[in-house]
Amino acid sequence: MRFRIFEHIVSVEEDMPLCNLAHLFNGYMDRLHSLEVAAYPQETLGEFHRLTVAPSDWRIKRSPADREKAEVLRAAQEQFYLLSVVNSSLHDLHLCVVGACNALGEFFTSFDGDLHRYAVENRLRRIAEFVPGTEDELAEAMHPADLADYLANWEPGEPGGPWKLIHKEDAESLAPYTLLAEIGHYFAPLCEYRTIERIGSTLPDEWDYFTEVVRECSANHLKTSQLPEAAGVYRKNAAGEYEQQSVAQRVENELNDGMKDRRVAGWFQQIMHRLQYVAGLSVMLTDAASYRELSDELLTIRDCTGLRDTAAAIA
């Protein structure tokens, strides 16, 4: 039984269409399939144990063939882990872009770009989400000052009954509920935790190895010129049915596939550079205008608009 390291990104909500960024990332991962296949486990558990975790004195006596197998296995393990990181990073980046776009969209549509009003109302909304709750749940979710207010006015046995939300507008009380705090965990420069991929976590050129594999994806396929003239090659048609291709059709498909690969690689590189740019914008947010600029840039990333067609230029 085979499984995939790369999992397609799906819509965050069932009734929402998949954004263009998700389609681009899915196409990118599809074209890394050759790396994925090479990293598939090929060994039985017994062979894996014999090659990697057997007693060290036995490993010294391994044959040259087994030593070579162990090296190949070690490389496959590293590749498997690396590709798993790539998969997680692309899924995380998609969620960060969509999440930041949604938060900024709400800010401008529901709060008219008013940063103070947003913080005041967001504080009340966030507290209401967790009250009533256990003291441990509240301690994890609420700001310490709000938790102290809640506990000072709460009677055990009647969770939340006598306590009413206290309206506050001072900067210290609102700090955890500002728009900057709300979107901060989507951007690496604003978040000290490195447990997931965030916007700006990885430099654009650190994707170059994988992007080059994507660019040359179809170049590694068996070409029509390498096949016997009578060889049957089948391809899915618009109806999803497989039909045999003529030599002319096969050559045309190869050219089209190569252009699609170059196009996906070129678009991906542009998106990575844009993500690096918005990561820089995230540390310069001071007023509604700066948040508007960030929102506009993120929307072009989510929707993949304004991208140059480098494949057509090369062709």
Q: Is the dihedral of CA 117, 122, 128, 131 positive or negative?
A: negative
Query: In terms of Cα–Cα distance, which of 275, 232, 205 is closest to 24?
Result: 275
What's the pLDDT band for 305 if we cut at 50, 70, 90? very high
pLDDT score at 88 = 95
pLDDT score at 183 = 95
Identify whether 97 is part of a domain: yes
- Segment 280-283 long-range contacts (CB within 8 Å, at least 24 positions apart): 280/189, 280/200, 282/183, 282/184, 282/187, 282/189, 282/190, 282/199, 282/200, 283/189, 283/190
Identify whether 60 is part of a domain: yes
For 141-151, what is each residue's pLDDT tens digit?
677 777 777 66
Identify whether 95 is part of a domain: yes
Once rounded to an integer, what is the mean pLDDT over residues 14-19? 80
Once rounded to an integer, what is the mean pLDDT over residues 290-309? 94
The residue with greater pLDDT, 231 or 3, is 3
Identify whether 148 is part of a domain: yes
pLDDT score at 192 = 81
pLDDT score at 228 = 45
Q: What is the dihedral of CA 298, 299, 301, 305, to 10 degrees?
A: -150
What's the pLDDT band for 105 if we cut at 50, 70, 90? very high
Q: Rounded CA gap, 250 and 233, in Å?
A: 8
Identify whether 41 is part of a domain: yes
In the predicted structure, residue 68 carries a pLDDT above the cut 70: yes
Amino acid identity of 198? R
In the predicted structure, residue 280 carries a pLDDT above the cut 80: yes
For 110-136, what is each residue's pLDDT tens digit?
999 999 999 999 988 887 776 665 666
Identify whether 67 is part of a domain: yes
192-202 burial: b if 16+ Cβ within 10 Å, else e: eeeebbbbbbb
Supply angle C-alpha 266, 267, 269, rounded to 5.
Answer: 65
Q: How many domains does the chain have?
A: 1
Most confident of 8-22, 34-48, 93-107, 228-242: 93-107
Identify whether 156 is part of a domain: yes
Q: What is the dihedral of CA 66, 67, 70, 74, to 10 degrees?
A: -170
Tell the burial category of 234 from Cβ atoms under 10 Å away from its Cβ (0-12, 13-18, 19+): exposed
For 176-227, what is each residue's pLDDT tens digit?
899 999 999 999 998 887 788 999 999 999 999 999 999 888 655 434 344 4
Q: What is the mean pLDDT of the chain?
A: 80
Identify whether 219 is part of a domain: no
Domain that residue 294 falls in: 20-204+246-314
Q: Rounded CA gap, 132 and 55, in Å?
A: 56
